[in-house]
Structure 1
Amino acid sequence: MDNILLVFLCLIMGLGMQRIAAFPKNGHLALNQFVIYIALPALALYYIPKVRISTDLLYPLGVAWIGFLLSFVFFYFLGKKMGWPNRLIGCLIITAGLGNTSFIGFPIIQALYGDEGLKTAIIVDQTGSFVVMTTLGIITAGIFAKGDPNRSEIIKKILLFPPFIAFILACIMNSLRLDFTDQFQTVFLKLGATVTPVALVAVGLQLKIERESQHWKFLRLGLLFKLIITPAVFVLLYKVILGGKGLAVDVSIMESAMAPMITGAILASNYGLKPKLSSMMVGIGIPLSFISLAFWYFILSTF
């Protein structure tokens, strides 16, 4: 569980660095750019060429894609009905629609289901969460970053977004069954490993717990959707409607209940989609998720 310890230490370090005068007030912007321009592309170039498509991917794949679409439909129509600004709607769609299926998900799944469960968790993350973030996530961020989105500008931002460029290159290599040499793979893996600590420090730098903040009601709604409503939908869909059974189904549902994705919050922040709320979704969502995950593990054990 050293990953869990690292999560909290990085958040605490980020919070502590807010009080250090020598650290730039907007230092989180540089850290965000490092994640976007270097660490995330490295992850794509390392993992995507190794993915092999099969029917075993169906349940795990559904977690990321269906989960994000549910978030989009829920917050888009609710936001429009309530008259919320586009930046708020976009923030909630991304942070509540993307789960932390790797850094938080992997150690928890391994502890609960062992190495076999971890195999399914890796499928959820590599072919689901990361791909959704670099495609639907970027498109959503581009659309909601402005009140009156310009289609050509959005397309340009997507095509020039470094993780998306790396994703396309990696997909081409995957289709040709090509991969980088061992030396390059080692470099990409080490660069990709910096995503979580750097992103969490950046989140900590932006995280401000203000009792009178207007974000609290949206935070409660976002976390309710991510930690309770989303996994409930997957229990209903996978267990009741489709009659799914076995380890892959249970692991997929548990992954749908993970806290908001750290890099999803960085993406929202990078596009100016309520950076404070994005940070709160991660900073508060991670501790709360341990309670909700225990609840869903108990529910699944009763089926």
Structure 2
Amino acid sequence: MQLLILYAQLIGLVSLGFFASSRIPQLSPHTLGQFLFWIGVPISIIAFLRQADLSGAIWIAPICAWIAILLGAGLAWGWIRLCGNREQGAGSSEQGKRAEGAGEAGGEKRATTNYPLPTTNYQLPTQGSFLLAAMVGNTGYIGFPVALAVVGTQYFGWTLFYDLLGSTLGSYGLGVVLAARFGKGKSDRTSLIQAILVNPALWSMGFGLLFRQVPLPAVAESILSSLGWSVVALSLVLIGMRLQHLKSWRNLPKAAVSLTIKMLIVPLVVGSVLTLCGFTGAPQLAIVLQMAMPPAFATLVIAEAYDLDRDLAVTALALGSASLLLTLPLWLWLFGV
């Protein structure tokens, strides 16, 4: 019932953004994305940190998170390179046929015209969104409720550490570096370091760890928590607004590949390795569930802020969120206790 309620809210808020977007100026999705990146996400991090229980031996969770992030990024980058090599190979074959035909038509005369080889259809902004979708999952806004419903509050700390020290840093640390590189072409080291240092989510995480020790009145605590969950709702509304502005579903094949890496291959590989290492039970299930989450809403927020491929980001988010209903029973069957 909790999962049904969760997805009813998800579908409802996405639908709200979808149908309301037609009456909102075209700039509104971009403006909302900028607001979430610079203000909304930091507030939610501070709010959820205050509710977290950080005790217990849960250091394995962030280690597994970074293994999953790097494995997903590596597989995604390998796929991009493979597609580029295939297209170059096809271009070389076509160029050879043209040269051969020209040679036959001209006798001893050989064609000297050089035909440029085609490049991969994964342009730089698309590569950035593709990598982000395959790297980090929605371990906060969807992962938390799923973990509570499946493994209970006893192992919620594993989920939290996976999110805070894995997905959060992966999204707004490594993810921002990649976004700055592929979205704005910043490849020099100084620019990449600057992209990390000015990232508001990382600063809010450090502030949140200190601020969680400061007692607040019950009313203020409730307001802060409500603000945090309001950011969740706005993120879902933003997805609906971007779905309204999708020109086509031409990115569906790319999104399907990134989701196969993110939601199937990575959890299966890392979960199997944990089993071989003797790490089983509810903690293993909690970790695997976080790996199997759909792409993080942060991928869309970052795509908005750094001008990546927004259509691919939204397609991956929408398709991934729907696919979770199909993949969740698989992980419960393979790794359930």
**TM-score grouping bracket, smaller chain normalisation:** 0.7 to 0.9
Q: Secondary structure at the match of 2:289?
A: helix
- Please tell me whether residue 135 in structure 1 is matched to residue 209 in structure 2: no
Could you report, residue by residue, the CA deviation over 1:167-213 in whole angstroms, capped at 9, with x for unpaired residues? Answer: 34446x38xxx733415655543322222110111111111597964
Question: 2:323 aligned to 280, 288, 292, which one?
Answer: 288
- Judged with a 3 Å threshold, the aligned counterparts in structure 2 of structure 1 residues 103 and 214 are, in CA distance, closer, same or farther, namely same
Q: Secondary structure at the residue paired with 1:56?
A: coil
TM-score normalised by length of structure 2: 0.78
- Give, in angstroms, the shift of residue 270 of structure 1: 2.0
- Partners of 1:206 and 1:277 lie apart in 2 by 10
Residue identity matched to 1:56: I
Aligned to 1:195: 231
CA RMSD of aligned residues (A): 2.6
Amino acid of the structure 2 residue aligned with 1:80: R
Q: Is the 8 A contact 2:162 2:287 kept in 1?
A: yes
Amino acid at match of 1:260: P
State the alpha-carbon separation in 1 of the partners of residues 313 and 334 from structure 2. 29
* Gapped regions of structure 1 (runs ≥ 5): none
User: Is contact 1:72-1:93 (8 Å) kept?
Assistant: yes
Note closer, same or farther for the CA distance 1:95–1:195 as it changes in structure 2 (3 Å cut): farther
Partner in structure 2 of residue 12 of structure 1: 15
Q: Structure 1 CA distance, aligned partners of 2:141 and 2:208?
A: 22
Which residue of the partner structure matches residue 204 of structure 2?
A: 166
Per the alignment, residue 136 of structure 2 pairs with 98
Relative to structure 1, is the Cα distance of residues 48 and 18 closer, same or farther in structure 2, using a 3 angstrom cutoff?
Answer: closer
Answering whether residue 292 of structure 2 is matched by residue 257 of structure 1, we say yes
CA contact (8 A) 1:91 1:273 kept: yes
Aligned length: 294
CA distance in 2, matches of 1:224, 1:64: 17
The whole-number CA distance in structure 2 between the counterparts of 1:211 and 1:145 is 20
SS of the residue 2:320 aligns to: helix
3-state secondary structure, aligned to 2:280 = coil
What does the per-residue CA deviation read over 1:81-130, in whole Å, with 9 as the maximum and x for residues that have no partner? 42332222211121221111122222222222222243432332233222
Deviation at 1:39, TM superposition (A): 1.8
Q: 1:147 to 1:211 in 2, by over 3 A?
A: closer
Distance in 2 (alpha carbons) for counterparts of 1:105 and 1:228: 16
Change (3 A) 1:113 1:25: same
Q: What is the CA–CA distance in structure 2 between the aligned matches of 1:24 and 1:190, rounded to whole Å?
A: 27
* Gap change, CA 1:103 and 1:165, over 3 Å in 2: closer
> Offset at 1:274?
0.5
Could you list the per-position Cα deviations for residues 201-257 of structure 1 after superposition, in whole angstroms to 9, with x for gaps in the alignment? 1111111597964312101101111111111112222112x2212211111112211
Please point out which of 198, 210, 216 is paired with 1:182.
Answer: 216
| 1:244 match: secondary structure | coil
Match of 2:189 in 1: 151
Structure 2 CA distance for aligned equivalents of residues 137 and 188 of structure 1: 26
Distance 1:55 1:114 in 2: 17
Q: Which amino acid aligns with 2:29?
A: H
Matched, 1:230 2:266: yes
* 1:273 counterpart SS class: coil
Structure with max Cα Rg: 2
Q: Distance in 2 between matches of 1:94 and 1:228?
A: 16
Name the CA distance, whole Å, in 2 between partners of 1:133 and 1:74. Answer: 17
Identity of aligned residues (%): 21
Matches of 1:300 and 1:246, distance apart in 2: 7
Amino acid at match of 1:236: S
CA distance in 2, matches of 1:46, 1:182: 12
